[in-house]
Amino acid sequence: MENYLQQLNEAQHKAVINTEGPSLVIAGAGSGKTRVLTYRIAYLLEKGIAPWSVLALTFTNKAAREMKNRIGQIVGQETASKLWMGTFHSVFAKILRIESEKLGYPSSFSIYDTADSKSLINSILKEMGLNKEKAYRPGTVLGRISAAKNDLIIPAVYARDPQRTSADAAARLFRMPEIYQRYMRECRKAGAMDFDDLLLNTNILFRDNPDVLEKYQTRFQYILVDEYQDTNFSQYLITRKLAEKHKNICVVGDDAQSIYSFRGAKIENILNFRNDYQGYQLFKLEQNYRSTQNIVNAANSIIAHNDKQIKKEVYSQNEEGQKINMFQAQSEVDEGFIVINDINDTRLRNQCQYQDFAILYRTNAQSRIFEEALRKKNMPYKIYGGLSFYQRKEIKDLLAYLRITVNPRDSEALKRVINYPARGIGKTTMEKIENLANQNNLSLWEVITNPALPNTGFNSGTLKKLSSFARLISGFMSQAPNMSAFDLTNEIATQSGIMKELHQEKSQENQTRIENLEELFNAIREFSDERQESGENNSLVDFLEEVSLLTDQDNDKPDDLNKVTLMTIHAAKGLEFKNVYIVGVEEGLFPSSMASATEPGIEEERRLFYVALTRAEERVTLTCARNRYKYGELTFARPSRFLGEINQEYLNIPAESRSFAPTGKETGSFAKKKRFNLKDDSAQEKKKFNFSGKTLQNNDSPSRFNSLAPGEQSQIQPGVIIEHERFGQGKVLHLEGVAPNIKATVFFKNAGQKQLLLKFAKLKIIT
């Protein structure tokens, strides 16, 4: 790729060629940060820097692959392949395998995914007699362990940490220190690490082995970190240690897009970069190439309300574009119909594809309404972030066989397949094996292959079954060194009985499972071929590591089919769509009720709203509902404060929704007063919320609709305009039946034609 530097604007060019010393690149949404990071690495290589002395850390394997490919187009694929480039977890897993002996782990250690970790925790809770206590949910326990690891808190320190132990006591999790200790002990016994261990153990490796730290400090002359605002304390400390010798560290990110504090990300890492690295250079990428001017300006007006930020002036030289549309629906059902009808109309009017549309929401639970509306319109859609290919049962079953072949100490994998396909090793037998393992500090594999096993109380039939399973796995282990990953997987799928099991029942479900396994074989073949071509390791251990470290964006491809995309805003980060619908923009939902209690929480929610807006290239629509069901009760919904913080100059508000729209004059005071009717008549008015000319007290019933009394039913005639609490406004087409069982056929603008029994329908007569 010739003259690649000429493709850069002035700010990008400076960020690429100034490679010495610490650098902070603040990259606004759509400003070409990936291009800058890619070209900066290519520029280093063209200057003669050895590729193996460059460490580039990303947050997805997809980003690393794309960057490495683009670098290869400039400097050659062979040179690019020698870069140390990948996600934090994949790069440091590589280092941990090299240095595993220093930590007492096998080089073929397993990497537990979330399901494995929860399964192990569930076993521990059961052993401790805590599995029936509601406070001790595996997901809750794992979340606390993960948070501790990200803060580099090991079990011994956890037990002495007053802040953590008091928080555990408040949540009635009094035995968390013991659970954490047992969890770590069981992982080590199984020769396994979870995701967080890959970072925790890298820190421990560098702390306890100065010679190892010095080796990698010397090797990595240049360190580059993508999405630095998303780093946690553990990641921050590793990169800081590695950069101490050469101090050539370049971090790229956007503090305005720091939205992962719930995963341990610390915005302070990017805000305090100037304090950590004296004499740093600051580069600001402020031109947005993705979105129209209106979208960029609206996003700027919203993020300006945050105090904790590195100031920048993002701008766009694209066309001015449409103003942002705002709609207030009667209910969440009405909201669903409004959004889907608008997608259909826009698609037909502008000759768009379904894949040009994305519906973004704050919580996964909101997807149901939009799924139902899409199905009723027979429109194709995909929920992004659904079940990953590698989380499907048949895939996890075969992967478990592969895992114990390379690491027989992997107890979670062994438990998964010791009786699949069924070989008569039941629950009681497994409980005995687990008890023996715990009593003797052994792995499950060490128990079932122990010469003393016949003396432990198992009957001859059970011993025969356990011996048969052990021989099966031992056979796979002996074949592994002499077979390719693909051939070995094929052998395991056949000899284990998995394929026979699936072929026995000719159901569509089993056929799909067989096809999925065939796709796994394809994945292994592609992996082996690609690694072989690039001269990289292509063993079964390497394949299992790559699968274990896939991120959400690596697993899901929102643009692989022509479908409307539904996804949370968190999942949308890094993606872009021509048309974006941000739905449920209401207090308690967005911002979420949990975040609203603190100023840092509100600021992160505002950054999340900024991220949502800047996913759009051409068109944004914001929607909220007047009423929304919560826990089965119809509640009054208040428009989000964020709607009042957007400069009205960039908004298009239909007349029927103007009751919640801000004015330019009031925008500044809106956030401070946290008021939603945007009027300042009196102190009493601050306790009211205004919708369509109707003012409700906070404690009023949320619904303005009632079932019609017999006398009122006579007012319903063909041609009358009514309003329904869920479907919005509609026109009565005709009536049938006699009182009190009169049924009305009504055409609703958003919901289409419905039949309503008047004595039960909650309606309001408009005209």
Query: Does the annotation mark 309 as catalytic?
Result: no
- What's the CA dihedral at 567, 569, 574, 575 to 10 degrees? 40
Catalytic residue among 415, 615, 626, 641: 615
User: What span, in angstroms and rounded, lies between the C-alpha atoms of 507 and 527?
Assistant: 30
Cis previous bond, 710, omega within 30: no
DSSP 266: -
**Rounded-to-10 torsion of CA 228, 148, 119, 466:** 110
Which member of 99, 168, 226, 723 is catalytic? 226
How is residue 22 annotated by DSSP?
A: -
Which of 38, 257, 366, 405 is catalytic? The answer is 257
Q: Tell me if residue 618 is catalytic.
A: no
Q: Which residues pair with 567 in a beta bridge?
A: 360
Cα(135)–Cα(142) distance, integer angstroms: 12
- Among candidate residues 14, 34, 62, 685, the one labeled active-site is 34
Contacts by 169-174, CB closer than 8 A, 24 or more apart? 171/135, 171/140, 172/135, 173/135, 173/136, 173/140, 173/141, 173/144
Phi, psi of 320 (to 5 degrees): -60, -45
**CA 413 from centroid of its chain's CA atoms:** 25
Task: Give the CA distances from residue 549 to residues 302, 339, 663, in Å, rounded to whole numbers and listed in that order.
Answer: 35, 36, 48
Angle (nearest 5°) at CA 14 between 9 and 18: 155
Structure tokens at 459: 């009957």
Binding-site residues for ATP sit at 27-34
Find the catalytic residue in 12, 33, 35, 648: 33
Residue 339 CB neighbours (<10 A): 24
| 108 backbone dihedrals φ, ψ, rounded to 5° | -95, 30
638 in Cβ contact with 707 (< 8 Å): no
Longest dimension (CA), the chain: 91
For the question of residue 33 being annotated catalytic, the response is yes
Q: Are 247 and 277 in contact (CB under 8 A)?
A: yes
Phi and psi torsions of 720, nearest 5°:
-75, 140
Q: Is 226 a catalytic residue?
A: yes
The vertex-601 CA angle with 595 and 606, nearest 5°, equals: 100
Write down the catalytic residue from 99, 113, 186, 227: 227
Task: From residue 224, give the alpha-carbon distance in Å to each of 13, 19, 148, 213, 700.
Answer: 16, 10, 26, 18, 56
Could you give the C-alpha distances from 599 to 248, 296, 300, 593, in angstroms and in order? 35, 24, 19, 12
Annotated binding site: 27-34
Answer yes or no: 34 catalytic: yes
Q: What is the DSSP string of 724-754?
A: ETTTEEEEEEEEES-TTS-EEEEEETTTEEE
Which candidate, 104, 106, 141, places its Cα nearest to that of 122?
Answer: 141
Torsion of CA 582, 587, 592, 596, to 10 degrees: 140
Residues marked as catalytic: 33-34, 226-227, 257, 615
